[in-house]
Chain A
Amino acid sequence: MRKLSLLKRKEPLSDTQLLMTITIGIFFVMYILAMILLGGGFLHAQQLFDMLNDNASLIIVSCGLTIVMIGGGIDISVGAVTSLTVMSCALYLNSGGSLIASMLIAIGIGLAFGLVQGFLISYLEIQPFIVTLAGMFFARGMTTILSVNPQKANHKAFAALREKKIKIDALGYRAKNGNLVPGTIEIGVVVAIVCVILVFLLLKNIRLGRNIYAMGGNQQSALMLGINVKRTRFMSYLISGLLSGVAGYVFLMHTGAGNATNAAGMEMNAIASAIIGGTLLTGGVGNVIGTFFGTLSLTTIKKIVVSSGLNAPWWQSITTGGMLCFFILLQSVVLGRRAKKKKT
């Protein structure tokens, strides 16, 4: 294994690494430019922490989606499953359940969706788009059936858990009245980063992860190599479902309430994050670290729009669309050039 990685290092960057490097580079350039030109909040570490705090669940969901996309599939039910998890857990906590059980419920809902969708897609060979679309409809419908009204989670142990935050004085800043506001990181961020690392290790070092890359790259040859394609695909959807459930719990920890419109459009944000991070929908190419920076880039551009005074409600999504367009074109051009070079 070590020999292989040594051999690889001598070769030029693979497509995956190249796209990831571009994303990380652009993220840092964008952030530093914002620091220089806009200053203000961007000079505080708290700005970065806020971005992580607000998007912890999106990062987790994007990790799961990255796995599925590397395997050549698509899962658009993730946002809806997250929303359903938030609502179910909020209702359960309000009915006086225990903290541990609510976590188990979150994981259980995620696993159940992953299980059913994975089975339908890999063993019954139904198109993943349709299955996960139905999953999305089902989860959204179930959320409104559970409750149309917002549900605030009134639970002592849960409130205590929500209050637990990591505070770093060194990275804080002085407020206008002279008080020190310490840098605050929520527990959800820790969960998200653990998820990123676990998924990174899974894709890099575990046989299942390598099989997912092989399956996404070329399904026929993966089959010829003796990889159990069906089981690999099943597992990729199962992990994605599980992570959606975890993301739901993190979302609840962040907002503290269940709402029927929670995580609306999250699936598309997650897909955008994965794409900006260099994952190709065709499969076989992608990296979860890239996805992590993809989410951050997406958030940074939104923050930049807000702080540069473009306050009209439409600018955020228009610039997001523009940035997405830029990244997609960049990837297409870069990969196209590489393919030409390889040929000559």
Chain B
Amino acid sequence: MKKNGRKLSFAGLGQLTIPLIAIALLVVFNLIRDPGFFSIGISHNNNGNAVLSGNIISIINGASELAVLAMGMTLVTAACGGQDISVGAAAAIAGSVFVKVLKAGASITAGTVILAFLCSCLVAMIFGMFNGTLVAVFRIQPMIATLILYTCGRSVAYWINGGATPTVSSPIVTGIGSFIPGIPIPTPVIIVAVTAILFKLLFRFTALGLFTQSVGINGSAARLNGINEKFIKLLSFVILGVCVSIAGCIGVSRLGLINHETLLIDIEMDTILAVAIGGNNLGGGKFKLSGSIIGAYVIQMLTITLYAMKVSSTDVKAYKAVVIILLVVIGSPVIKERFAGWAARLRGRSKKVSVKGAEE
């Protein structure tokens, strides 16, 4: 498909147009519905800490796992032209390893938490490498390759747990999942910010972003230019593995237990959606990390809005689907062209009118 540089009147933002419009619409809708929706207050949680509270905080906090996963998924999408549908299952495995290592020690200290996180990171990276090898070396479509882990991942997590849903209770783990004493911002939000900054630094100081784009646009051309195509694809999956483990650990810390069936359930679909709403082409190539992050917040905002409208949690999906369809229809190339055509015709007509007016 050819991409011409047609600029709509509001398209100065490029691919961020659609997610930003979506956020703006949601904000306006919520303000009309309930002017106090976005008020931020300070409340005291059970431990007596002063923490920020309010809908906007719960939106930003709730979307943390999604945002982290969306960043990794954007890289995979850009490099391989396909999506990893096993992130939820892999996160369940990572979470199980996290809990397993925490439980193995006598007491939970900061050291064991870091060790557990590193272990879960390692396992998630190995699974990422497995997916990446299938995609890069055996040239299997990413969706098919990750279907394997999607099918068996949650069962592997169950097996790691030994058929139970173990719980961990420790102030450190609770701190990761909610608030660290003395800091009013939820910890997951800080983790997302740190991850985003790390990604930014990675792209700033290495050529990974450029290489990923060129591999995604034309793999063989990239290879002929001396880029190791297989390595870049593999690397994208390994980086996604790190993101998966971060998301899994956040998810486990939030609840204080690992349930292989419900931990981050259906998140793979939401993640892919976040990438798509962020204006990234699911066929690979150019990408924008910020778009995906905004996409993640759009999805969470939509969910919280629906909850606030007293829609039950099982019914949310149907309403979400309608909004998604509306968003993608507005963003579809055909509709955009139509609109551009209409806009041009309108402009033409107004010119003609003015010319006629001048003649008279």
Contacts and interface: CB of A to CB of B under 8 A. Distances in A.
Interface string B132-161: 001000111101110111111111101100
A142 to B, nearest CB: 5
Contact of B334 (A124, A134, A148, A268): A124
Contact of A260 (B141, B148, B314, B332): B314
Contacts of A214: none
Contact of B140 (A142, A272, A316, A328): A328
Interface stretch (A26-34, A45-53, A95-103, A125-133): A125-133
B155 A141 contact: no
A280 B328 CA distance: 27
Interface in A218-260: 260
B163 A313 contact: yes
Nearest to B337: A125
Q: How large is the interface on A (under 10, 10 to 19, 20 to 34, 35 or more residues)?
A: 35 or more
A129 B272 contact: yes
B189 interface: no
A135 interface: yes
B329 interface: yes
B282 interface: yes
Contacts of A336: 138-139
B207 interface: no
B155 A317 contact: yes
B191 interface: no
A205 interface: no
B328 A141 contact: no
A134 B329 contact: no
B321 interface: yes
Contact of B320 (A123, A137, A144, A328): A137
Contact of B282 (A130, A280, A313): A130
Contacts of A184: none
A120 B324 CA distance: 12
Contacts of B359: none
B360 interface: no
A91 to B, nearest CB: 16
Interface string A123-163: 11111011101111110111011001000000000000000
B273 A133 contact: yes
Interface in A257-277: 260, 268, 271-272, 275
Given A133-B272, A332-B138, A142 B318 contact: yes
Contact of B155 (A130, A268, A313, A332): A313
Interface string A315-327: 1111011101100
Nearest to B83: A129
Interface in B101-159: 134, 138-141, 143-145, 147-156, 158-159
B224 interface: no
A312 B163 contact: yes
Given A130-B273, A144-B314, A268 B328 contact: no
A329 interface: yes
Given A120-B325, A318-B159, A336-B139, A328 B318 contact: no
Interface in A141-195: 141-142, 144-145, 148
Contacts of B334: 123-125
A320 B148 CA distance: 8
Interface in B245-297: 269, 272-273, 276, 282-283
B316 interface: yes
Contacts of B34: none
Q: Among A125, A129, A322, which residue has the most Cβ atoms of chain B within 10 A? A: A129
A148 B321 contact: no
A89 to B, nearest CB: 18
A68 interface: no
Given A124-B334, A138-B321, A140-B317, A321 B159 contact: no
Interface string A268-295: 1001100100001110000000000000
A-B residue pairs, 3 tightest by C-beta: A141-B318, A321-B152, A138-B321
19 contacts: A120-B332, A126-B329, A127-B282, A129-B272, A130-B272, A138-B321, A140-B318, A141-B319, A271-B144, A312-B159, A314-B163, A315-B155, A317-B151, A318-B155, A321-B149, A321-B155, A322-B152, A324-B148, A332-B140
